[in-house]
A and B are shown apart, each in its own frame.
Chain A
Amino acid sequence: DIVMTQSPDSLAVSLGERATINCKSSQSVLYSSNNKNYLAWYQQKPGQPPKVLIYWASTRESGVPDRFSGSGSGTDFTLTISSLQAEDVAVYYCQQYYTTLMYTFGQGTKLEIK
């Protein structure tokens, strides 16, 4: 299995400040034939299903505010919220879809307002 490890587990950031969440995979999720990283980021608010924010590690989903960005390649990835808004309070998950034998998620990072 590809193990996805997020850091930190929880994070408190002031409104308007930058929030950074990291995700590390136990093996590369970069597919050499197309040079794409098979990594997505989701946001989950209480009582709701996860919502995709970023796919291919850095492609922002349509309708997602541009304060959300994804970066990284291979085994190390980052989700950045450039200027935290109150509505961004949520749990964030990374997910690898590199191997269909076993899709896996990170353990989640809880983002709160400081």
Chain B
Amino acid sequence: QVQLQESGPGLVKPSETLSLTCTVSGGSISSYYWNWIRQPAGKGLEWIGRIYTSGSTNYNPSLKSRVTMSVDTSKNQFSLKLTSVTAADTAVYYCARDRIREATNTWFDPWGQGTRVTVSS
């Protein structure tokens, strides 16, 4: 059973870069799309973007200028970098897999447990 685990700093200073990694266990990272989704406290879900194991990406247009995703198949990990963060980027960040292998449009399953990131000086 595939499991995802987010990791990274819980506190980031304004204007700096948020960096998170999602480690995939119990299965291969290959041939799937891998997503980042965030949720500010008490609010709804926002899709940040996704990466395929080839390195192909799709980003939320509202975040595109600040987002970079990468994948390391040798480590079964993928990563998120979000530059020039502000308090508005404070949220729980989830990683999630597209459900169907080698498909372009599917729902998210499974999800990681999420990691809380606070942007504050």
Given contacts A101-B58, A102-B60, A102-B61, whether A52 and B44 have CB atoms under 8 Å apart is no
- Give the Cβ gap from A45 to chain B, nearest Cβ, in Å: 12
Q: Is B2 located at the chain interface by the 8 A CB criterion? A: no
Q: Give Cα A52–Cα B61 distance, bound, in whole angstroms.
A: 25
- Which of B17-25, B70-78, B81-89, B110-118 lies on the face that meets chain A? B110-118
Complex partner residue of B45 from A55, A100, A105, CB under 8 angstroms: A105
Residues of chain A with a CB closer than 8 A to B60's CB: 102
User: Cβ of A102 and Cβ of B114 under 8 Å apart?
Assistant: no
Residues of chain A with a CB closer than 8 A to B105's CB: 38, 97-100
Residues of chain A with a CB closer than 8 A to B61's CB: 1, 101-102
Interface magnitude class on chain B: 20 to 34
Per-residue CB contact flags for chain A residues 34-62 toward chain B (1 = under 8 Å, else 0) read 00001010100000111110010000010
User: Cβ of B46 and Cβ of A105 under 8 Å apart?
Assistant: yes
Q: Is A74 located at the chain interface by the 8 A CB criterion? A: no
- Give the Cβ gap from B22 to chain A, nearest Cβ, in Å: 12
Count contacts on A: residues with CB < 8 A to the other chain. Answer: 25
Q: Is A104 located at the chain interface by the 8 A CB criterion? A: yes
Q: Give Cα A98–Cα B106 distance, bound, in whole angstroms.
A: 8
Q: Is A20 located at the chain interface by the 8 A CB criterion? A: no
User: Cβ of B106 and Cβ of A49 under 8 Å apart?
Assistant: no
Per-residue CB contact flags for chain B residues 5-19 toward chain A (1 = under 8 Å, else 0) read 000000000000000
Q: Is A107 located at the chain interface by the 8 A CB criterion? A: yes
Q: Give Cα A16–Cα B96 distance, bound, in whole angstroms.
A: 33
11 contacts between A and B (CB under 8 A): A40-B107, A49-B112, A50-B45, A52-B99, A52-B108, A55-B106, A61-B109, A105-B45, A105-B46, A106-B44, A108-B45
Given contacts A49-B114, A52-B108, A103-B35, 13 further A-B contacts (CB under 8 A): A1-B61, A42-B108, A49-B96, A49-B111, A49-B113, A52-B99, A93-B44, A95-B107, A97-B105, A97-B106, A97-B107, A100-B105, A102-B60
